[in-house]
Structure 1
């Protein structure tokens, strides 16, 4: 009996180390993919791109690169044929719903970015963290502590500082009506983004029965396919497809650069989505949004090196605030995991004592 008691904490510690290793890997995927995709998206518009539907479609069009992973996960996962037949209609409905949410979200973000100054757009997007906090409280029973609230407030403040600092240098000569449309589009996109993440967490808890990797790949592949179809329909319906040849010719760095910009934007969004889904599965949707909001502060810093943007002391302060908020949230999860492991150890010790008495 004593052997069981001593081995259980070691096994639990090893499992936690592997879990946090996966969390670190997914965090790198999300930050690297999202920062790169954001910079490439700005590069597209700065160098001659104009189409909102092209910018929308490319966010999901990279799904074919997941086909090898899809086949691998299908072979490595044992499936019950009766369960598959029963759940096919349910899964199709879920994939369709998530796909439609994605295309709506991507288009709303594109509209907001086209009508609003970049700083105002970032400021409105910062509300996705607050929206997600409300959604996870009601849908996922998310518990809030002082450290969690501190992380949400500090991360939001960091984005606000970035936005207010660049407001004077980033303006668009548009009518108030279009600015108002852009504001509500960005706000609706942020709310949809928060709801989408909370529903994904609910899916992993209530519906997903396959292995973690298989669920991640499928939940990325099929909704992305549906979102791509919706994007292509919008591209054809709006007539923007006619301007692709002209855009390619007029692109500042040439045709090859135009094509590679779109290709790598699509690929990096897929990397970011894998990271996002992995963090929702391993931790929570709120954790994923916290990491995503960190990108809103990191991207302007990277813009200094990539696009030679001006750097101000406020940007550095905002970056440090974002790191502080992120570390606060990480520390809260460390405390939660430590308490959970302690409870498991206490339960194991009580069971062991009970068996010895018998």
Structure 2
């Protein structure tokens, strides 16, 4: 195939020697895709609740709480070790060096996003934080357009507008009854800004993950097999964890952990159990996200996260007795309306354009 005279940034036409990527079955007929979506559900709902519980019962280390969101990557090592034992000559990582470096850099971006999220959640109710995080769909949509040339419809644009309006409503109403006891007006708005910053950072990272997977597929590496995607998640986790550990060292979090455990409201056993549980459920979340991108797209991953907001809201009210006012209700309704709008548009688009080639045909290493 001839190259275009003026190729778009970050994209090149595939050479004729590039192997055709494997077509993925529809999501509802793909068991692995469903498993990844379930993992997103576990992490997206349980993760914020556990992390907020840490702050509610006396925890205060923001770098530690961001570390918990990324430190579960060793759970994936048995897969890599088992594969290596089957083939003693196989290296631990089969990813090309360039993608190892890119994955580590993406990990740093996720580490930054996790810190901003933890900082915001320390001063915001879970219900407010969750609605604000849903705005990552807006940033994901924008960066997906720039990075991977995501196709948009009137339905997806409508979803972006609805989510933006919902976040703006929370911002105008936020310093009222929604503000937790003991949190100043300034601290509340700093947390508000930090959470939006986390959403923006993560909205950029998701399309970059999709782009990396697309380039891996056209490189002929097992057509971008899911095993290599797990490798990406391990390297991303290492990069994010290293970033957070540096912050913990500078902030002297390691020295503070034993003292914080002794003073924790749920006791020392409850403290360490909470830390371990947070690391596990957030690893479920990130593994599910990268799987959703592999079987769908970055925008799909963002939409699933938005859908789960309502579940998180319900549990936040039950466990933390958070005040759920009319503004939050309207913002939540707009978020769910945005989700339905996007998903309906995707169904209509897929029905009309089922013969459009996948994104991997647009990229070459």
What interval of TM-score do these two structures reach, taking the shorter chain for normalisation?
0.7 to 0.9
Which aligned pairs between 1:120-131 and structure 2 lie closer than 5 A? 121=129, 124-131=132-139
The CA deviation string for residues 118-151 of structure 1, in whole angstroms up to 9 with x for no partner, is 6765565444222222111111111111111222
For residue 202 of structure 2, give the secondary structure of its aligned residue in structure 1. helix
- Whether 2:100 is the aligned partner of 1:101: answer no
Distance 1:194 1:331 in 2: 21
TM-score (norm 2): 0.77
Structure number with higher helix proportion: 1
Distance 2:325 2:184 in 1: 27
TM-score (norm 1): 0.78
Equivalent position of 1:190 in the other structure: 199
Equivalent position of 1:49 in the other structure: 59
Question: Of the two, which has the highest radius of gyration?
Answer: 1
The CA deviation string for residues 303-338 of structure 1, in whole angstroms up to 9 with x for no partner, is 122223344565555545433332332222222332
Equivalent position of 1:304 in the other structure: 317
Select 1:89's aligned residue among 97, 113, 120. 97
Distance 1:43 1:114 in 2: 10
Select 1:135's aligned residue among 138, 143, 147. 143
Select 2:212's aligned residue among 192, 203, 207. 203
1:60 and 1:227 in contact (8 A); partners too: yes
1:18 to partner: Cα distance? 5.7
State the number of aligned residues: 328
For residue 142 of structure 1, give the secondary structure of its aligned residue in structure 2. coil
For residue 103 of structure 1, give the secondary structure of its aligned residue in structure 2. helix
Which aligned pairs between 1:273-288 and structure 2 lie closer than 5 A? 273-288=286-301
Equivalent position of 1:154 in the other structure: 162
2:109 and 2:201 in contact (8 A); partners too: yes
Greater CA drift, 20-29 or 308-317: 308-317
Distance 1:150 1:53 in 2: 36
Distance 1:253 1:27 in 2: 31
Distance 1:119 1:320 in 2: 13
Q: Extract unaligned runs of 5+ from structure 1.
A: 1-12, 345-358
